[in-house]
Chains A and B, each alone.
Chain A
Amino acid sequence: MNKKNHTSLIHISKRREVSLGRRWGIRALAIILAFVLSAVVTMIITGLNPIEVYATMLKGAFGTPRKMWTLGQEIAILLCVSLALTPAFRMRFWNLGGEGQVLIGGLACAASMILLGDKIPNALLILIMTVTSIAAGALWAVIPAIFKAKWGTNETLFTLMMNYVATQLVAYYIIVWEVPRGSGKIGIINQNTQAGWFPQIGNFKYLLNILIVLVLTFVVYVYMKRSKQGYEISVVGESTNTARYVGIKVERVIIRTLLLSGAICGLTGLLLVGSTNHTITTTISGGRGFTAVMVAWLANFNPIAMIFSSFLLVFFSQGAGEISTAFGLNQSYADIMMGIVLFFIIGSEFFINYKLHLRKNTGKEGA
């Protein structure tokens, strides 16, 4: 033909209804492909047998009962933060302050343990720890929420900034309460009396945490799906105009939801300090406030699906530790693999929503 003939070879169109089975089929295929690609990359870069690498990762996550308990604990804590972010995210309020809200909850818990330990009955102490942690987390989240509701400030920046404030506050109190003097850390709180330590169920150190988070998962699921407040959150998230039109007080919903979101973050801090570590550091949250964003998005804000997405992320980080010791690979190597898997999972959403058409007859007749 006389003019350039560049009929697009690939054509994209949106799918209409996508069945649930097909959705998960595409996702499963994406994960399998991701593992195949990771295997190829592993072979090329390291020359190792990828099957062995995967086996080692599995061993790192499930190898011993202790490892499995750790896996469960890590999933529970990450899931707890993800559950906290869910109501806010459903409302399109991008709460990136999970990190700070967890920290401040933990700080409130540690403060109660240090200041009140051995002075009041243990049950009362645990009650006070619970209330103060949850209240502190809620407070940390509601400050940006009030500013957003009243003056329309940007919640992303505000919640991020609150993280730094929380970190510095914790750093300050670590110096105030450091044991022993000059060590720069608090150490185990109430080590001798175990005052304020959460009770342990049988011999299982992490079981209580796991059970609490499981119950919470169900509660958040029902709250979001069935409650009037959950419905209001969805309406506000989809369209504040519609919300106002049906008489929903948008400002009130924003504040109420962030109180809830922060409260669950505060609860996470409580579980970390009161139930697990019995101490506080500035890194106790360990970036979970941000990882949880990924968990929540991957699960499309469905609390039940978050169990799986948090499992996936924790599995990789646990497995990573194992391969770095077993093969002398850098810790970053697991991050590369996780990056490949996440890329495929997120990419699969495109194939769920869109369809590719390959054009067979390139160009028109008479070309």
Chain B
Amino acid sequence: MEQRTAAVSMRNITKSFGTILANNKVNLDIFRGEILALLGENGSGKTTLMNMLSGIYYPDSGEIYIDGKAADISSPREAFQHGIGMIHQHFKLVDVMTATENIVLGLKEEGRFDLKNASKRIREICDTYGFEIDPDKKIYDMSVSEKQTVEIVKVLYRGADILILDEPTAVLTPQETDKLFAILRNMRGDNKAIVIITHKMHEVEALSDRVAVLRKGEYIGELFTKDTNSQEMTNMMVGHAVSLNIDRPEPVNPKVRLQVKGLTVRSEDGILKLDDVSFEARSGEILGIAGISGSGQKELLEAIAGLQKLESGSINYVDDDGKATDITSEDPVHIRNLGVTLSFVPEDRLGMGLIGNMDLPNNMMLRTYRTGGHSPFTNLAGPRKTAAKVVSDLDVATPGLSTPVRRLSGGNVQKVLVGREIASAPTILLTAYAVRGLDINASYVIYHLLNEQKARGVSVIYVGEDLDVLVELCDRIVVLCGGRVSGIVDGRTADKRQIGLLMTRIGGEEHE
């Protein structure tokens, strides 16, 4: 259907990990002067496919052609020789170095090492495409969006004209996302080939020219963005029709459940993480917490869960009869002993919520192993039952109960974690980035679970990063900025531009 020569042609690419077929005879064309959105659920093989293009993995079979010529890419260095550069989800920068130093790091250029010249060239690249960055700024002084910019400039500096971005907007505010998209459009104008991996449909629609869909490792098809809509693309990804609306039932009989007053927290090195944070969470409602990442969300949830030292402030739990219990600075075990069932789905699922090397029953037992009176021995029977129930209720895809959870895909790991936390019938449920990295299907399962808990009268606190979801799911939204509450808005009337401004209002003053 195309007459022009593809910048990259991938033909019959197959890659397996053990018995798992990550990519099965995938064909993909990438053209210059075009932005291609690569769509697919978690585990559909998008990142694997792109990793083969950028030299991180090597295909089991199949061919890659660059500008019509067969190419053999067996290392990232060779990928760069072909002009292919990838910007990963997790930044790979050295914190104590400046942007320039990071960009030239690992390059073997002819002649003398010349940082001045390098930063001049970096400024040229920035001017061409509209990046705003100070080449002499240290990475640790940079915001997430600036770090991402450094990653992109790094790839351009190495002469890449085929760029792959893996979920670049996951960590950005709407304003930052707009800026990034403007830059990507400039690059398209400069005849570069751009591939963007994302889960967010409205971004695909706003940015891309063409869409390619993978499902379960197989290439499903491609569409021109202008000829399609998000419903059609989602159906292609999932393989059947899905509803894209997030339910938001009216809270039933909401009562104050949690009172947070004047919470102030400092990190170990004395940096103010939370500054006089006060709010109330009610039963039967989902309270959203919005903010740029690192604005104190983590500290806030950990403070409530009893994992964070407080400098000042108080946290009170109010039960159905209106009786208040002070849970300020109690540890997690003590909080439960006070009769408060507080569940917490932390951001770091395998590093904090679960143990990757343990199987499902042993992970379920993390919350319950102390029960069973004074017996010195653990009893796996209960946890095994819980695990089986979570697997069947939440439809967890796992080879068996005895599989270590690290072997499960991201969505299934999250189901196991959320399932365990819900199993203890909580009255307060804290969730941090509950759908980060999850595909549409898994995300909707989680939204549904949260709504179920809400209907049960649980006070759900939802820390999120996707403002579209926050304004659709949450009843009220607390906006954090630099550790302070910059506003509490009603989810039903809130506008995400307004939240985006609140997120950057205190301190930053970048927007008038």
Contact = CB atoms under 8 A, between A and B. Distances in A.
B355 A231 contact: no
Interface stretch (A66-74, A233-241, A326-334): A233-241
Nearest to A249: B331
A356 to B, nearest CB: 13
Contacts of A1: 70
Interface of A is mostly: mixed
Given A11-B58, A227-B377, A246-B367, A241 B351 contact: yes
Interface in A212-254: 226-231, 234-235, 238-239, 241-242, 244-247
B267 to A, nearest CB: 15
A13 B346 contact: no
Contacts, number: 85
A16 B348 contact: no
Nearest to B305: A245
A11 B74 CA distance: 11
B358 interface: yes
Interface stretch (B16-24, B206-214, B251-259, B287-295): B16-24
B407 interface: yes
Interface string A1-13: 1000111100101
A242 B378 contact: no
Contact of A245 (B18, B74, B352, B376): B352
B366 interface: yes
Nearest to B348: A241
Contacts of B58: 8, 11
A23 interface: no
Interface centre among B63, B348, B352, B407 (most CB of A within 10 A): B352
Contacts of A17: 18, 399, 403
B426 interface: no
A72 B18 CA distance: 42
B366 A235 contact: yes
Contacts of B354: 242
A364 interface: yes
Given A8-B74, A244-B307, A235 B376 contact: no
Contacts of B376: 227-229
B17 A16 contact: yes
Nearest to A355: B18
Nearest to B306: A247
Contact of B17 (A14, A228, A238, A363): A14
Given A234-B358, A239-B351, A239-B355, A14 B366 contact: no
B70 A245 contact: no
Given A226-B378, A247-B331, A364-B63, A14 B18 contact: yes
Contacts of B377: 226-228
Contacts of B336: 247
B365 interface: yes
Given A14-B17, A16-B20, A235-B355, 6 more contacts: A16-B18, A17-B399, A226-B377, A228-B378, A238-B355, A246-B367
